Amino acid sequence: MVHGAFIRRRSRTLVRLAVVFSIAATVFAVPHFNAMASSPRTSSWTIGVSNSLIGNGWRDEMVCSIRAEAKNSGKAHTLVQQTNGDTNQQIAQIRSMISQHVNAIIIDPNSSTALNSAILQAVSQHIVVVVVDQFIPALLNHPGVYQVANDQRAYGRLGTQWLVNQIHGKGNIAFLQGISGAPANTAREQGQQDVLKNHPKITKIANVYTGWVWTTGAQQITSLLNSGKKIDGVWTSGIDYIVANAYKTAHRKLVPVVGADNNGFVHQLLTMKGLVGAAVTNPPPVGGVGASIALKVLSGQHPPLVTTLTPKVWSNTTAQGRAALRAHYLPTRSLQYAADWAVAPYTNYTKQQLFACSG
């Protein structure tokens, strides 16, 4: 592929330059020049990171997984650019990284279409592009554009089906979604509909968008509880801990809750009396998987253009689910930290490297 040929040409050029530098250092006997030639920084790759959401614990962990994978490789360091949902700013940041001649760019997109031109510009400059977390449909299997994401449609389907089963196929479900129009959220809603179309006795009593912000989700679930509407189950896009807490604070009888593999919710599922629930996995280390793919391409390997992770359901209603919850809970991490901290066989960093978030 074009990336492999470009990297090999660059490697031969670097070897020739290293020989010239070595001879010059010997002739002029300048110790500082020797030190420069042996510095690992001069031979490492720069991996740019474009993250479209700031102040979100899941995204923070995703970025840390990229840094940890790069640092573990010993061959790369990262350049991180972040924006808070501003698509135009994300495009500008990607183009800035192109002008800085990074070797690869890992992108968590704010739009499923708007970044396409900037992405293709990077590919034309022989930069490895890896889209993570949310697929860009028009660029699936496009040469030079690698994509890796959790199967978000399956995420929406699995959690909804579990919840429908818990309330025996009839009743009112409140849906607390993520960001309207975000590729992952759109796929999750499609997965929900895959289930709901087969269950006419289920009513979608509420459908609100939290923006994946806990404070917003707290206000919305509180309003729903105060509305007097009958709620038989709650599906959340990662605002799970807040929902269980709101029921407890309002002294309401808990209903079945579906959430993500957030550390706080995992702990609630193991310890909160009366809570019946399930965590559907959506590992932030999808970023680390993207870094692993980028490193493989930069090394001349040819990984698949599309990698899809399969979500799992950890329910506290089964022995197997409870065992998974216990095995993944991280007592030293925050409530919003995702308990699914590594993705075998793709990521290679240690837990300590992920927690340190350096590189």
Determine the residue type at 108.
D
- The residue ranking higher by pLDDT, 314 or 25, is 314
Q: What is the mean pLDDT of residues 221-245?
A: 96
The answer, yes or no, to whether residue 18 has pLDDT greater than 50, is no
Q: Mean pLDDT across the chain, nearest whole number?
A: 89
DSSP assignments along 167-214, one per residue:
TTT-EEEEEEES-TT-HHHHHHHHHHHHHHTT-TTEEEEEEEE-TT-H
Determine the residue type at 260.
A
Q: What is the mean pLDDT of residues 340-345?
A: 95
pLDDT more than 90, % of the chain: 82
pTM of the predicted protein model: 0.80
Q: What is the CA radius of gyration of the chain?
A: 23
165-203 pLDDT, tens digit per residue, is 999 999 999 999 999 988 889 999 999 999 999 999 999
Query: Which pLDDT does position 283 carry in this prediction?
Result: 95
290-310 pLDDT, tens digit per residue, is 999 999 999 999 999 999 999
The answer, yes or no, to whether residue 5 has pLDDT greater than 90, is no
Query: Does residue 336 contact residue 58 with C-beta atoms inside 8 Å?
Result: yes
pLDDT band of 37, cuts 50, 70, 90: very low
Q: What is the mean pLDDT of residues 212-240?
A: 96
| H-type alpha helices, the chain | 2-28, 31-38, 57-73, 87-99, 116-124, 152-166, 183-196, 214-226, 240-249, 263-271, 286-298, 319-328, 351-356
Least confident window among 11-25, 224-238, 257-271, 324-338: 11-25
Least confident window among 5-14, 55-64, 179-188: 5-14
Query: Which pLDDT does position 181 carry in this prediction?
Result: 86
Q: Widest CA span of the chain, in angstroms?
A: 85
pLDDT band of 123, cuts 50, 70, 90: very high
The answer, yes or no, to whether residue 19 has pLDDT greater than 80, is no
Query: Does residue 296 contact residue 140 with C-beta atoms inside 8 Å?
Result: no
Query: Which pLDDT does position 278 carry in this prediction?
Result: 98
